[in-house]
């Protein structure tokens, strides 16, 4: 585990990713733009909006779950992974008022968040960025990369996650789909 | 649980708190200064150094522990609490490579971090600020307030904590003592 990596997502006229769609699942939308730029360790370019988060340590996964994920997941930047999704999420105050054991029980024992994600490895690569302590409107920014053929599986994964008890605590969610050449 | 509150601690010539001592327990020291200013929701004043963190949700405490703390703890700003301590801490990469269940087991089942703190309530008031995802040299900034009569008890609490297994993962720690009129 390296130090946290700050990552910014900027929507505007430039960037490696074409924005295909911005769909507000819950809460307010984000402004439409042509492209998305992903930057780390440098100032983000000017744009219509920028969301910034930071990688961090896992907050719920046990050693067994962490090892299971590590054995199956693949990294970002695979040549065949020409589709991506950025999903900013905010959880409601009821979630943040829960104690650690209560959040863990909802997250995994009852909602099977990690177990559901495991079903889609290694096709769906994923990196979570935390931003609750950085200000701004969202608590989490999750970035996913996959091949065009895996997009139906990705949609199925989201449907399963959004049907869980954990998602009752989601106050805002935007689903941004992207493609690169 | 409200939204996270950003808080900055600035050492320099101004501020409500006199700096009595800056003691590097582990790792590099911080520069000596006359006073410390604590600001939130406004730009910190100029100074020799500024450390910024954010309140957040508890990362390890169970519901029973959270309720136990809430029943006994008192808030910051008590008139009799004219002494304070700011203790910035960084944990080493081994700590951050542990899974959630491993960190919890060390933090509480084996090191009794919350249980030790409970022994000093309500005399010692405490607020934890996270800064690992904000950049800067430290992972945590803990602020304590107590009466002058409680300082020996505060020292005893620190001695007990520093003798725990959890503290083997502390790579840097500075103990800053303060007083106000």
Give pLDDT tens digits for A4-40.
Answer: 999 999 999 999 999 999 999 999 999 999 999 999 9
As to burial, measured by CB atoms within 10 angstroms (0-12 exposed, 13-18 middle, 19+ buried), residue B164 is middle
Q: How far is CA B84 from the centre of its chain?
A: 10
ipTM of the complex: 0.94
3-state helix, strand, coil split of chain B in percent (to 5) is 30, 35, 40
pTM over 0.80, yes/no: yes
Which chain A residue lies closest to B2 (C-alpha atoms)?
Answer: A93
The total of other beta-carbon atoms located within 10 Å of residue A148's CB is: 11
Q: Is the pLDDT of residue A165 over 60?
A: yes
C-alpha atoms less than 13 angstroms from C-alpha of B165 in its C-beta half-sphere: 13
Tokens at A111, concatenated = 């909602």
B117: nearest Cα among B82, B66, B80, B76: B66
Structural class in CATH, domain A6-40+50-179: alpha beta
Cβ atoms of residues A54 and A4 within 8 Å: yes
The rounded average pLDDT for each run of 10 residues, N- to C-terminus, in chain B (181 residues) is: 89 97 97 98 95 96 97 97 98 97 98 98 98 94 98 98 98 98 86
Q: Residues in chain A whose beta carbon is closer than 8 A to a beta carbon of chain B?
A: 1-2, 4, 6, 54, 56-63, 65-66, 93, 96-102, 104, 130, 132-135
Residues 6+ apart with CB under 8 A from A54: A4, A5, A6, A7, A129, A130, A131, A134, B133
DSSP β-bridge partners for residue B175: B23
Q: How far is CA A40 from the centre of its chain?
A: 16
Q: Is the pLDDT of residue A117 over 70?
A: yes
The values of phi and psi at residue B143, to 5°, are: -110, 125
CA-based torsion, A37, A40, A45, A48: positive or negative: positive
Residues in A touching B58 (Cβ below 8 Å): 99-100
Q: What is the CATH number of domain B52-179?
A: 3.30.70.3420
A180: nearest Cα among A28, A38, A70: A38
Tokens at A169, concatenated = 């605590």
Note the pLDDT of residue A1: 53
Which of the residues B7, B62, B99 would you substitute to probe the A interface, choosing the one with the greatest number of A C-beta atoms within 10 Å? B99
Q: Do A61 and B99 touch (CB under 8 A)?
A: yes
A33: nearest Cα among A14, A15, A11: A11
Q: Where are the domains of chain B?
A: 52-179
């Amino acid at each position: 585990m390296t130090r946290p990596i700050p990552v910014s997502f900027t929507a505007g006229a430039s960037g490696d990713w074409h924005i295909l769609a911005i769909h507000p699942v819950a809460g307010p939308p984000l402004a439409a733009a042509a492209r998305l730029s992903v930057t780390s360790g440098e100032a983000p370019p000017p744009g219509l909006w920028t969301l910034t988060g930071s990688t961090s340590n896992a907050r719920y996964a046990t050693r067994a779950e962490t090892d299971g994920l590590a054995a199956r997941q693949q990294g970002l930047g695979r040549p065949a992974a020409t589709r991506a999704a950025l999903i900013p999420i905010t959880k409601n105050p009821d979630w943040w008022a829960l104690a650690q054991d209560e959040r863990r029980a909802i997250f995994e024992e009852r909602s099977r968040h990690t177990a559901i994600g495991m079903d889609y490895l290694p096709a769906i690569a994923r990196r979570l960025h935390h931003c609750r302590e950085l200000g701004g409107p969202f608590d989490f920014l999750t970035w996913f990369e996959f091949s065009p053929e895996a997009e139906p599986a990705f949609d199925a994964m989201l449907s399963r996650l959004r049907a869980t008890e954990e998602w009752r605590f989601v106050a805002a969610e935007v689903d941004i789909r992207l493609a690169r050449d």
